[in-house]
A and B are shown apart, each in its own frame.
Chain A
Amino acid sequence: MPKLTIDGHEVEVAAGTNLIEAARAAGVAIPYFCYHPYLTVVGQCRICMVEIAGQPRLALGCATPAADGMVVKVESSERAREAREAVMEFLLANHPLDCPVCDQAGECLLQDHSMREQNSAFSTHMTETRRTFPGYERRLIGPHVVQNQNRCIHCSRCIRFTREISGTAALTYKSRGNSTFIDTFDGTAFDDPMSACAADVCPVGALTVREFRFRKRSWKLLSTPSVCPGCSIGCNIFIDHHERVVYRFTPRENPAINATWLCDHGRFLAESLNEQAYLEPQHRTGGQTVRVGWGEALAGIAAELRDAAALRVVASANLSNEELFLARELFGRHLKGEIAVPVAPGEPRKMRNGKGDWLQATDPHPNSAGARRLGINVVDGEGLSRFLYGGAGLTLILDPGAHPFLASPEALQLLRVGTTVVWARREHAAAHAATWLLPTPSLAGNEGTFTSSAGAVQRFVQAFTAPGTVHRTATGAMSPSCPTIASPWGPPGEARPLWLTLTALAHELGVPALDFASPADVFAVMARNDKAFAGLAWETLGGLQQHESFRERQHVG
């Protein structure tokens, strides 16, 4: 374990750690553009030059491993500062100063570093006009990525990403010298399953994500840590949102699962979180649909539950562990109903973790593993059909999106036979067959945990609706974890998370043991009683406490 001094701060790091990471551990920010913790080191941008005592030449922070007794000067070295200034002059010689109209502004490493060292007067010896790439200013190079070659600083991060991570090797430098530009083979579409990550790693605005461009200034966004609902791999994400609108998902660092990557399939589910077809509880009687308050709806459903001769509950692998647990306890144990979790077949998905290994999944649900571990009956489409054909006085559909079969005419006919209660957010045929319809919020309005296919129990945080939104702060610290919602009888016209209505139903039905105030409380009981969750603590789940994310780390200074 080499121990070294960086700008007067002593720090001990693992052998092989480079100076950038060692300095980060010491609280010193060495600027960088081409370095990325999960890509090979190329030392191209030259901005990370530092002075090492006893060495005549400046060294590259990215390519120099920390050594015992090393004395490194970053901010305190006049030579290093001059070198950085010279590199910035070089990089800015051809960089358009279009930050006001650039979509990367606010999360641009070049801009950040310009701002950080703005006290030293940047000057330029250039008398020539800036180099431009006519025709390459806003070129759609793939379905999700827009290129502005004028802004490119030739760091090769995107190229290395496609070569080392996504494996498509779709991007390359073309031409040479001053006219080098980024392109695909023969101008074909940059069709990569993780294409938007190439825009993520771009330190400047040369590659931007088409879906997010010009929708929101990055500094207006709040980032709430969450888990991607796209498949069972369970990639860690931030939900970036503003005023209760979700603008994008961005990857959140987790070396064991998604490093700092996210596939396009998962990333572009973000927009679907804004759909909210149902806002108020509805009751259908005598062919008429009436909007009702939450109190009336829950009392009515509680009455149905008390009177039901037989109860069938279709849960979902999209629900959190807490919701599945509550459903199992309330409907299974207390009300003696039958519960099934349908799992639909899905497209194959893959993700490369921090070690470079591929994680695979064909399960389109984020929490099938959780349902299995909770011992709930997991069924396929055929099993679901049999389950529904079993016939029941009362059927509860906790999530119509659980399986495509629930939207089939066959299923709808079955649902219309008895009384049906449906919890739904997006427009769905089953909602029209419901006697009671209860609106639920999206992932962004809920909180809880998912269990990934590899068995990691990971927490997602509520982004908005309730007070206590967790956001990214300047230091990367998370604000207090779980907001307690004082009353389940919130204002009308609001979707309520399923866990909340389940605890409220438990209250109505006189099951005080399940009348929890928060998912954290539910989880505490699960951790005590369920082997699958034994020893886990809500506060430390899913890496929420362990480090600042890479995206935050990128914005040091």
Chain B
Amino acid sequence: MNTRPIVAASPEALQIVTFDAAMEARIAELLPRYPTRRAAILPVLWLCQERFGWISPGVVAAVAARLGEAPAFVEGVVSFYTMYQTAPPARYVLQVCTTLSCAWCGGRELVAHLKERLGISFGEITPDGTFQLVGVQCLGACGQAPVIQINDDYYENLDIAKLDAILDELAGRS
């Protein structure tokens, strides 16, 4: 299993954000691909999420300053898109498909099982900070339903036994 845990920076660490040389280099590489700096907000935010694990107000301010936008505007953009994390995420974010194909093929049972096993509902994080449960719409892998996306990786054709094995391994790693 290749799934890498998310290393989220602490809120304190992200109060005031400055981009290091590596980040600046990646931003500089991105900018020429877009007609305006405003158009580069999304990819730059994505870079930040990769780097810091989530988008804090400090990150928003830094991105706004870097791209010459108002912080309020950038924060509005962040709040519009559901894939930007606005709070420190768990090490493993379980995005469970709740749309029709998955639901029919056992997705509903997976959700019920996850909720029971982890003791949390959608949008919550386990107390040890290992798992976060998120209900999402179609992940575009209906042929392999039911599907769960854990961090950047898809786990397909799942059933309860397979899911438990995956969770055991991920929990064991941490």
Interface bits A167-206 vs B (CB < 8 Å: 1, else 0): 0111111111000000111100000000000000000000
Q: Helix, strand, loop or mixed for chain B's interface?
A: helix
Q: Range of interface residues on chain A? A: 10 to 19
**Could you say which of B35-43, B71-79, B90-98, B108-116 contacts chain A?**
B71-79
Query: What is the CB-to-nearest-CB distance from A158 to chain B, in angstroms, rounded to a whole number?
Result: 11
Nearest to A169 among chain B residues (CB) is B70
Given A163-B70, A169-B70, A170-B70, the answer on whether A186 and B80 have CB atoms closer than 8 Å is no
Chain B residues contacting A168 (CB-CB under 8 Å) are 70
Chain B residues contacting A183 (CB-CB under 8 Å) are 72, 75-76
Is there an interface contact between A172 and B80, defined as CB atoms closer than 8 Å? no
Chain B residues contacting A185 (CB-CB under 8 Å) are 57, 60-61, 70-72, 75
Number of A-B contacts (CB under 8 A): 40
Nearest to A163 among chain B residues (CB) is B70
Is there an interface contact between A169 and B72, defined as CB atoms closer than 8 Å? yes
Is there an interface contact between B70 and A175, defined as CB atoms closer than 8 Å? no
Complex CA gap A137/B70 in Å reads 26
Complex CA gap A536/B80 in Å reads 55
Given A185-B71, A186-B71, the answer on whether A173 and B76 have CB atoms closer than 8 Å is yes
Complex CA gap A172/B78 in Å reads 11
Query: What is the CB-to-nearest-CB distance from B84 to chain A, in angstroms, rounded to a whole number?
Result: 12
Chain A residues contacting B61 (CB-CB under 8 Å) are 185-186
Complex CA gap A186/B16 in Å reads 13
Complex CA gap A174/B74 in Å reads 10
Chain A residues contacting B76 (CB-CB under 8 Å) are 172-174, 183
Chain A residues contacting B73 (CB-CB under 8 Å) are 163, 169, 172
Interface hits, B100-154 → A, CB 8 Å: none
Is there an interface contact between A174 and B75, defined as CB atoms closer than 8 Å? yes
Complex CA gap A118/B12 in Å reads 55
Is there an interface contact between A186 and B60, defined as CB atoms closer than 8 Å? yes
Given A169-B70, A185-B72, the answer on whether A174 and B79 have CB atoms closer than 8 Å is yes
Chain A residues contacting B57 (CB-CB under 8 Å) are 185-186
Given A169-B70, A186-B71, the answer on whether A175 and B60 have CB atoms closer than 8 Å is no
Query: What is the CB-to-nearest-CB distance from B94 to chain A, in angstroms, rounded to a whole number?
Result: 23
Complex CA gap A174/B76 in Å reads 5
Q: Enumerate 12 A-B pairs (CB-CB under 8 Å) in ascending A order.
A: A170-B72, A172-B70, A173-B80, A174-B75, A175-B79, A176-B79, A183-B75, A185-B57, A185-B61, A186-B57, A186-B60, A186-B71
Cβ-closest 4 pairs across A and B: A169-B70, A172-B76, A172-B72, A186-B57
B-binding residues in A (CB < 8 A): 163, 168-176, 183-186
